[in-house]
Structure 1
Amino acid sequence: MSFDNVCKFLAESYPEQFARWLLSGNISNIQVLKTELSIEPIRADSITLLRTINEILQLEFQTLPQSNPPLPFRMLKYWTRLYDEYNCEIEQVVLFLKRTNSPDVFIDSFQSRNTIHRYRVIRMWEQDPAPLLANPALLPLATLAQSDSPNILLEQVAQEVARIESTQERANVAACVSVLAGLRFDNNVITQLFKEEIMQESVFYQSIIEKGEQRGRQEGRQEGRQEGRQEGRKQGEEALLLRLLTRRIGRITPEIQVQIQQLSIAQLEDLGEALLDFSQPTDLTAWLESHQS
């Protein structure tokens, strides 16, 4: 699971909070749409579609501006497909997560001889952290907001996470905070405030891999290093998936946990994508049955 997929999980878990942040007015009754459209699917790991009564909000989370095809052309393709499918107003917002000096993060339109298509661009490092700190669903993004004292900002995020009453929600938000904070902060800074194991591409995940490599070196064999790396990666995937699944569909039984532990790394990554469409425990059960060796 990548950084932008963590944002996708947050947006689909807290659609009203994201819609109220990005759209004007009192937003309610948000519908999360599938990320595949009919006929020829256009799919991106980072795309999220939230539908209000009058319009569709498309969120595109980008860690870096590089894209193939180029992002402006992709946004035009998304708009035409969505408008053809739903025939309503479409608000497109691209959120760049990692600070960069690339001029591409300032591009907010596709232009050719006869066509100009515009969309909104948000560079998280320029955003006021106050509204993000006030909303538990947006706390992970607050770690990337504008601040002259980033470490103090991270401490404020940790304080707000600690105020979340629900134990499960607090753990899930803390895990997502830890992942996104890895785009900005050193591992030691994060581990001082957050003790959660997290997923692939995060600084915590890298530390898990390093522990596996150290064990392999102690065994003195290349196989040991490779096995340690694989085991560390697998443990990191399993730990976060169980937390996200619990958030999505409720308590995971020990029997189901055993089945998840038997999955390969590739299957765990597939499950990380599939769980975004789960709404009840039977969805997980059916997925596991269809992916048994």
Structure 2
Amino acid sequence: MAYDNTCKYLAENYPAEFASWLLSIDTSDIQVLKTELNLEPIRADSVSPVLREGFPPQATGEPVRVTFLQIANQILHLEFQTTPKSTTPLDFRMLDYYTRLKREYWCEIKQVLIFLQATSSAIAFQTQYIDTNTTHRYRVIRLWEEDPTPLLANPALLSLATLARSDSPQRLLEQVATAVDMIEETDERQNISACVQVLAGLRFDKNVIKQLFREEIMQESVIYQDILQKGEQRGLQKGEVAVILRLLKLRFGAIEPEIEQQIRKLLIAQLEELTEALLGFNSQSDLVNYLANISPLQPSLGD
């Protein structure tokens, strides 16, 4: 999660730099779009019961959290991945994002899937989704194959430079540290340093990183505080879930796995409301009905 937050921070705070790197466009006319795409259910006039059998459940308007940049009359969709593993296959996710964006904005869409950590998985070398009647293409960047030179030249991209191609990774990290020290504005230097240290953790031992970067600089940064806050929230969420599941099992015995999964996906505010509501439940059916009336908040295809 720290890697996701870091990449999201960089893309949304330095959109012009990412546009210049990925699209070779130099412009300040860039807007960070909302990170949710709501898609209403689509109902076909007729679906054969035989053909429908075994199909996955239909989407029900769930929002999807992603990073989109609108540049003039086109949209740049950035997707960062540390591993090729995904509940929803990555190639299909790219198609899904594309169609949702197209329906809402109806403009040219550029998609870039960026793999941060070296892998030999075939998924990282796949650049299209192919189905019976559909072929959808997107761009893939494997950072470990990228030339670090353009990344080292741009403070916003220094974090990615730590993961770029190099015959001497240690020397590359030293170059990044030197470039970070040259950033004049204090807050920016602190935030970029924090991002560098987080992403460098995918490749380097933490002791190597500590030798080159001062820990107090990282702790003062906005991104570091954001990571800490989200970590605390996840801890609180897990604690709330544990308490609720224990109370429910004491009252109603074993809880259906599907119901337990629904509870685990609730946010802290929803869990707090459920804790109060369950005092009035007389049976597990009351719990089922209660959960059915809760609107899902910000689930992600990337989970």
**TM-score, normalization: structure 1?**
0.69
Partner of residue 266, structure 1: 233
Aligned length: 220
Q: How has the CA–CA distance of structure 1 residues 71 and 53 changed in structure 2, closer, same or farther, with 3 Å as cutoff?
A: same
Q: How has the CA–CA distance of structure 1 residues 269 and 66 changed in structure 2, closer, same or farther, with 3 Å as cutoff?
A: farther
AA partner of residue 72 (structure 1):
D
**TM-score, normalization: structure 2?**
0.66
Partner of residue 50, structure 1: 69
Q: Does 1:149 align with 2:128?
A: no
In the aligned structure 2, how far is the partner of 1:269 from the partner of 1:243? Answer: 21
- Deviation of 1:246 after TM superposition, in Å, equals 8.9
Partner of residue 11, structure 1: 11
- Deviation of 1:167 after TM superposition, in Å, equals 0.8
Which digits, 9 at most, give the CA deviation of each residue in 1:139-192, with x for residues without a partner? 000000000000000000000000000111101100100000000001111000
Of 115, 137, 141, the residue aligned with 1:118 is 137
In the aligned structure 1, how far is the partner of 2:121 from the partner of 2:217? Answer: 29
AA partner of residue 28 (structure 1):
S
AA partner of residue 28 (structure 2):
S
In the aligned structure 2, how far is the partner of 1:168 from the partner of 1:175? Answer: 11
SS in 1 for 2:5: helix
AA partner of residue 223 (structure 2):
L
- Deviation of 1:38 after TM superposition, in Å, equals 2.9
User: Is the 1:50–1:57 contact (alpha carbons within 8 Å) kept by the matching residues of 2?
Assistant: yes
In the aligned structure 2, how far is the partner of 1:111 from the partner of 1:176? Answer: 35
SS in 1 for 2:163: coil
- Deviation of 1:35 after TM superposition, in Å, equals 1.1
Gaps of 5+ in 2: 40-60, 238-271, 274-303
AA partner of residue 78 (structure 2):
L
In the aligned structure 2, how far is the partner of 1:74 from the partner of 1:14? Answer: 25
Percent of matched pairs sharing the same residue: 58
Larger radius of gyration: 2
In the aligned structure 2, how far is the partner of 1:66 from the partner of 1:246? Answer: 28
Partner of residue 74, structure 1: 93
Q: Does 1:32 align with 2:53?
A: no
In the aligned structure 1, how far is the partner of 2:217 from the partner of 2:197? Answer: 7
Q: Does 1:2 align with 2:2?
A: yes
Q: Does 1:88 align with 2:107?
A: yes
User: Is the 2:195–2:223 contact (alpha carbons within 8 Å) kept by the matching residues of 1?
Assistant: no
Partner of residue 166, structure 1: 185
User: Is the 1:125–1:146 contact (alpha carbons within 8 Å) kept by the matching residues of 2?
Assistant: yes
In the aligned structure 2, how far is the partner of 1:246 from the partner of 1:104? Answer: 33
The structure whose RCO (Cα within 8 Å, separation 6+) is larger is 2
In the aligned structure 1, how far is the partner of 2:24 from the partner of 2:186? Answer: 31
Partner of residue 244, structure 1: 223
Q: How has the CA–CA distance of structure 1 residues 19 and 264 changed in structure 2, closer, same or farther, with 3 Å as cutoff?
A: closer
User: Is the 1:42–1:78 contact (alpha carbons within 8 Å) kept by the matching residues of 2?
Assistant: no
User: Is the 2:80–2:116 contact (alpha carbons within 8 Å) kept by the matching residues of 1?
Assistant: yes
Q: Does 1:195 align with 2:214?
A: yes
Gaps of 5+ in 1: 200-238, 248-259, 271-291
User: Is the 1:20–1:26 contact (alpha carbons within 8 Å) kept by the matching residues of 2?
Assistant: yes
Which digits, 9 at most, give the CA deviation of each residue in 1:105-157, with x for residues without a partner? 00110001110000000000000000000000000000000000000000000
In the aligned structure 1, how far is the partner of 2:215 from the partner of 2:29? Answer: 32
